[in-house]
């Protein structure tokens, strides 16, 4: 089977898509819009970020709604969830919380894990660095996932919320990878709360939209989302921008969310797209595979 590759002009086409992208149209539809007002306080932004990333399941409207409901349960301040003086009230406030398959008792347990962690460490960056310094990005994500899983008894399904790329089946770890992107990048729209992880080491948060578009651009030949696909797509983007490869993530993701990429041949929509010359649907003239 012939492997699809982007054209040699793909870097220029992607840079054009980035330069012309209407960020302000899409930022309001992204979960980070709920978190950005907290960027002035790194600890609050990190706490809200890890809860927000944990809830990042489903469409963006539902995710934003879940984060907003969680903030309301915490009386308007998500950071209150890790205040040990508020532990009893927290359990009561979260008892009825639901978002998809995530339950309030799981979030209560996460808050307890974070409370203990913050009693000894200033930031989750330390947890990530413990693995990153010996195992690069996947090692950092593994160390972060293990920290968030905690020790001792946890509610059913809790530890599955924090997969590691080093554990089978080699999950793409979209939510934790997204969290680290939010924390590390200090360029719009991210929060830039961490300062010891280089942006060039980041990996792409491979959600369904980014996976579909990058497959059809030929950045990976893998049809399923996996850590191997994350590495392939990230390396392809790193060849375009070695310093900040994941700056393209928001644009690719919201190109799919907004409908700018209809995921089928539609000249009315696809005609102006700068990536059309690289897309397998147009170059092969067939339907979506």
- Give CA–CA dist 52/190, Å, rounded: 13
pLDDT of residue 133 exceeding 90, the answer is no
Q: Is 33 helix (H, G, I), strand (E, B) or coil?
A: helix
- Give CA–CA dist 239/256, Å, rounded: 23
- Chain segment 153-210, per-residue pLDDT in tens: 999 999 999 999 999 999 999 999 999 999 999 999 999 999 999 999 999 999 999 9
- Chain segment 22-77, per-residue pLDDT in tens: 999 999 999 999 999 988 899 999 999 999 999 999 999 999 999 999 999 999 99
CATH architecture, range 1-30+199-289: Orthogonal Bundle (1.10)
> In this structure, what are the phi and psi dihedrals at residue 98, rounded to the nearest 5 degrees?
-145, 140
The 10 Å Cβ neighbour count of residue 198 is 10
pLDDT of residue 3 exceeding 90, the answer is no
- How many CA atoms are closer than 13 Å to the CA of 279, on its beta-carbon side? 24
Would you say 143 and 130 are in contact if contact means Cβ atoms under 8 Å apart?
yes
ω into 169 cis (within 30 of 0): yes
Sequence-separated (6 or more) residues with CB below 8 Å from residue 67: 31, 34, 35, 48, 51, 52, 55
pTM for the model: 0.95
Per domain, the residue ranges of the chain are: 1-30+199-289, 31-197
ω into 189 cis (within 30 of 0): yes
- Chain segment 206-261, per-residue pLDDT in tens: 999 999 999 999 999 999 999 999 999 999 999 999 999 999 999 999 999 999 99
Following DSSP, what letter does each residue of 197-216 receive, concatenated?
S-GGG------HHHHHHHHH
CA distance readout (Å), 277 to 14, 94, 257, 281, 284: 11, 49, 21, 9, 11
Sign of CA dihedral 218, 220, 224, 229: negative
What mean pLDDT, rounded, does the chain reach? Answer: 94
- Chain segment 87-115, per-residue pLDDT in tens: 999 999 999 999 999 999 999 999 999 99
The helix/strand count (H/E) of the chain reads as 14, 2
Closest Cα partner for 45 from 143, 147, 182, 188? 182
């Amino acid at each position: 089977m012939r492997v699809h590759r982007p054209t040699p002009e793909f870097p220029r086409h992607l840079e054009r898509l980035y330069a012309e992208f209407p960020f302000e149209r899409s930022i309001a539809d992204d979960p980070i819009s709920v978190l950005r007002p907290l960027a002035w306080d790194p600890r609050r932004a990190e706490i809200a970020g890890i809860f927000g990333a944990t809830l990042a399941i489903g469409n963006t409207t539902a995710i934003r709604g879940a984060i907003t409901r969680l903030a309301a349960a915490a009386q308007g301040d998500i950071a209150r969830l890790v205040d040990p003086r508020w532990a009893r009230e927290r359990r009561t406030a979260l008892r009825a919380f639901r978002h998809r398959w995530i339950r309030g008792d799981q979030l209560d347990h996460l808050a307890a894990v974070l409370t203990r962690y913050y009693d000894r460490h200033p930031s989750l960056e330390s947890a990530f660095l413990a693995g990153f310094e010996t195992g690069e990005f996947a090692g950092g994500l593994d160390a972060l996932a293990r920290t968030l899983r905690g020790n001792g008894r946890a509610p059913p399904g809790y530890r599955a919320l924090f997969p590691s790329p080093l554990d089978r089946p080699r999950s793409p770890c979209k939510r934790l990878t997204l969290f680290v992107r939010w924390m590390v990048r200090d360029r719009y729209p991210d929060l830039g709360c961490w300062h010891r992880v280089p942006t060039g080491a980041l990996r792409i948060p491979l959600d369904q939209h980014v996976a579909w578009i990058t497959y059809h651009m030929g950045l990976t030949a893998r049809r399923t989302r996996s850590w191997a696909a994350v590495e392939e797509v990230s390396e392809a983007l790193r060849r375009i921008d070695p310093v900040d490869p994941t700056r393209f993530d928001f644009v690719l993701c919201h190109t799919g969310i907004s409908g700018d990429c209809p995921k089928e041949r539609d000249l009315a929509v696809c005609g102006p797209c700068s990536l059309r010359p690289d897309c397998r649907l147009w170059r092969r003239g067939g339907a979506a595979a």
